Amino acid sequence: MKLINYLLIALVFVSSCKEENETVPTFAKDYGDGMYIVTENGVSFYDGEVVKNQIYKEVNGATLSNPKKIKFKGKKAYIVSDNQIVTANVETFENKEIIGGFVNATDFDFVDFDRLFVVDKGDAKVKVVDLVSLYITSDIETGDVTNPSFIISKRPRSFILNSGAVADSLKDSTVIGIDYKDVAIPLADLIGSIEVGDNPNSAVWIGALKILCKGIYDENNLLNNTFSSLSKVDAGNVELDWNVTLPNIYNAKNLVSSSNNNKYFFTALDGVYQMNNDGSGISQKIYFISDILDLSYERYDLTDTTWANVNMLYINDAVNNPNVIYKYNVFIDAFCDTIVVDSPVKDIAFY
């Protein structure tokens, strides 16, 4: 009996020593504040001076399959691919979670009660993810044969844009409204749809909800192409206030707003344009084709002793240099920096 007791004590001692000797991996806090660039190869990070490419692969030893978009909540980065969303600690980029169950996810947004609304274009649905359990808890149909691509939210409501597809027969003009909160009650209720311009694809919601519609654009059948347009939606009553045509503008996408919401910027068939927030005063700012556009409000030194915060546009040259991001100072109407990554750019976000 004593021998058995001695053996048990020895076993406990050896086991405790083994646990003490096990090393817990540590990750350097090399990231955090800066620009995150989703590319065909993964995610790059730019701190204002140096670019670090494929940081997810560098930290975790694994590649991201067809990454598309990145957003942030708290200390986590959320990266969407075709059939899953991967999260990472924004300071170390250590992988934290993987959320699956999608066919072809295109966009997502954070809503109240620790939930994620994911636009699944491949399933024509918005899927509701519980960020605690990491499970899809429900889904909402966006319509028959629709191609939802974009979501924008402001408490207590989200709007999903059905952006159509190439060819006139596959155009769409519907925007879906979903309520996600009623005081302290979590919802995911479809409240209806409204008709806007043809093929809505991006929006801003500062005061009023403005939706950019690319029109019909099929490069193989130019005769059917139509002008782009801008729609204003009453988000409370879920009604269309107006839709204005953008003359001679085709394939408009990537709507962003200036810091004071007076000017909008967007990409189009032949470059980057600026307009007033009512769709008037259209002028071309940049004369090469971009498929990426983001805006940041940043400090700009006017002299050695004075400075101002100004709007900076970040774009790529989709045809000639898709892996180069150009920084354009709207205040002085000039390019002021270039950022080179290792493969074509697919999304830009700032943390």
Taking all residues of the chain, what is their mean pLDDT, rounded to a whole number?
92
Half-sphere exposure of 168 (CA within 13 A, CB side): 7
The first and second tokens of residue 44, run together, are 């790059």
pLDDT band, very low/low/confident/very high, at 222 (cuts 50, 70, 90): confident
pTM over 0.85: yes
**Cα separation of 168 and 152, whole Å?**
26
pLDDT at 23 over 90: no
Domain ranges of the chain: 28-100
- pLDDT given at position 220: 85
pLDDT at 312 over 80: yes
Question: Could you please report the per-residue DSSP string of 136-187?
Answer: EEEEEE--TT--EEEEEEETTEEEEEE---SSGGG---EEEEEEEEETTEEE
- pLDDT given at position 267: 98
Q: Which fold has domain 28-100?
A: Thrombin, subunit H (2.40.10)
High-pLDDT (> 70) share of the chain, %: 92
With 0-12 / 13-18 / 19 or more C-beta atoms within 10 angstroms meaning exposed / middle / buried, residue 10 is exposed
Q: Alpha carbon of 96 to those of 59, 88, 136: distances in Å?
A: 12, 5, 18
**Cα separation of 140 and 111, whole Å?**
15
- pLDDT given at position 10: 47
Query: Is the backbone peptide bond immediately before 25 cis, with ω within 30 degrees of 0?
Result: no
pLDDT at 231 over 90: yes
Question: Could you please report the per-residue DSSP string of 9-64?
Answer: HHHHHHHHHHHHHPPPP------SSSEEEEETTEEEEE-SS-EE--HHHHHHS---
pLDDT at 139 over 60: yes
The mean pLDDT value for 243-269 works out to 97
Contact between 175 and 188 (Cβ < 8 Å): no
